[in-house]
Amino acid sequence: MDTLEILIAAIKSLPGLSGGYDITDSNHDCPDLTSELWPRGTTEFDHMATVISGAKIIRGIEQASILPAAALDVKMLDYGCGDGELIAALNSTGRKAVGYDKTSTKTANCYVDWSKIIDLAPYKLVILYDVIDHTDLAGIIEILEQIKTVIHSNGRIFVRIHPFSSVNGTHDFSPVNLAFAHMCLTPSESLKIGLKPWDHLKVVLPLEFYERVFGLLGLAVVSKKIHHSQVNPFVVSHLMNRIKRLHYSETMSAEHIEKSISINYIDFLLAPS
């Protein structure tokens, strides 16, 4: 077996992505995604289940449960709303919410025309759920500058970051576990095994990078919540040197790298400064 074949075999031997355990490393006060806004088994949850189905209800509930008390009078914008599952869930319970996405959407109160979003402004809460990782730096700047023009002076921006450097950062949920394959393989090596990941901004030190970007754009970090997963010992023992060579400086410690790649996602709560 050549080096690439050995590496591929090693990656495929890793336990499933659902294995291990989660560690939430936070001393901050960012709203938790497991709030009691719509507890399972309640009438409101059952009603929402008729509006959005399958896996999308999980995304809708997770997004909605970040809202501070989800007050009926809080006007909200879901930027990058996709199919609009969050908007459908919020509107179905009388909450004021609209969505924006650059692709077409058939969900009520979701728009592809930014002028509609401007007409309905200002918003007390804007949600960016797994959006800015899938553009480039110019795209991040454009999105956040747009949001700054429609957010209330006392508003907040919730940003869910799912960094490139996380275990499945490029969203490759393959039947064969390819955890950290995007960090271990070069683009040409990835193509050899048929791995075609989503577009994903290559950020390998997410905390340092995103906090810097937010600050430069005049957005203050009100709070943050960092969600970690245990890095498989095999990755640490056998793949760390390659990950370091491909993505990090020679002076970066293995401990720092392991801490960075253990970050599954980060929840930021931002405010205009």
DSSP state of 112: S
d(CA 209, CA 165): 12
- Would you state the pLDDT for residue 176? 45
d(CA 101, CA 109): 11
Q: Tell me which of 258 and 184 has the higher pLDDT.
A: 258
- Residue 62's closest CA among 34, 81, 82, 89? 34
Q: What is the pTM of this model?
A: 0.77
Q: Rounded mean pLDDT of 153-165?
A: 89
Residues 197-223: tens digit of each pLDDT: 667 788 888 988 899 899 988 999 988
Half-sphere CA count of 257, side-chain side, radius 13 A: 21
Q: Rounded mean pLDDT of 249-253?
A: 87
- Would you state the pLDDT for residue 149? 96
Residues 21-76: tens digit of each pLDDT: 233 333 333 333 333 344 445 555 555 455 544 444 455 555 555 554 445 677 88
CA distances from 125 to 73, 92, 156, 237 (A): 11, 18, 5, 43
CA distances from 56 to 51, 70, 87, 143, 155 (A): 10, 19, 12, 24, 27
